[in-house]
Amino acid sequence: MSSASESIGLSVADTRTAKNSALLAIAVAALVGGTINILWVCIKDGWDVPLSIAAELVGRQAIHGGAGIWVLGMALHFFIACVWATVYYLASRKLTFLTEYPFIGGVNFGVWVQLFMLLVVLPLAPLHFTNPITIEGLGMKIVEFGLPVAYSISRIAPATSPRKAAS
């Protein structure tokens, strides 16, 4: 009788550990990928990029905003990074090769994020900022976001492969 209750206790503890691991993996992936991404974009395009991000939410006047609008843009940027990290984490639970081979997963993820942002998000955003699809842009999204997210998640919350679980 006690072994059944112990196994239930262990499964609850395992569930809590898995949930904590998932949240930590998503948070670290979003923080690392989001930081590298925003640093690169700000170095390349100027430190007022967060104002443009905030302008998509509060309107064109935000482009001339102050520190509060800049912080809002940064918060929005990291929220979006969290959403993307969550997408990768959830996909990696079903497609375990994403954590087994984070380089391949990160390269593909970076390409998909860049294409989705350029072809869906920006054209549908209120201010309709657009950028062309370039090899440089795809490559940079792979390096600055796709790979950091993939490696963060694969290190912190590796998925259990059906092949490994069976053996």
Q: How many domains does the chain have?
A: 1
11 domain residue, yes or no: no
On the question of pLDDT at 95 being above 80, the answer is: yes
14 domain residue, yes or no: no
Which H or E run contains 7?
Answer: helix 2-45
C-beta of residue 164 within 8 angstroms of C-beta of residue 99: no
119 domain residue, yes or no: yes
As a whole number of angstroms, the distance between CA 109 and CA 89 comes to: 11
Confidence bin at 7 (pLDDT 50/70/90): very low
pLDDT at 161: 61
38 domain residue, yes or no: yes
Largest CA distance in the chain: 68
114 domain residue, yes or no: yes
Mean pLDDT throughout 47-71?
91
On the question of pLDDT at 167 being above 50, the answer is: no
Mean pLDDT throughout 122-150?
91
Give me the percent of the chain exceeding a pLDDT of 90: 69
On the question of pLDDT at 73 being above 90, the answer is: yes
143 domain residue, yes or no: yes
Q: Which structural domain range is residue 117 located in?
A: 19-159
Mean pLDDT throughout 117-132?
86
106 domain residue, yes or no: yes
pLDDT at 162: 55
The angle formed by the CA atoms of residues 25, 31 and 32, to the nearest 5 degrees, is: 90
1 domain residue, yes or no: no
DSSP class of residue 121? I
Read off the tokens for 7.
Answer: 């196994």
Residue with tokens 């390096």: 143
As a whole number of angstroms, the distance between CA 55 and CA 70 comes to: 10
On the question of pLDDT at 54 being above 90, the answer is: yes
Question: What's the pTM?
Answer: 0.83
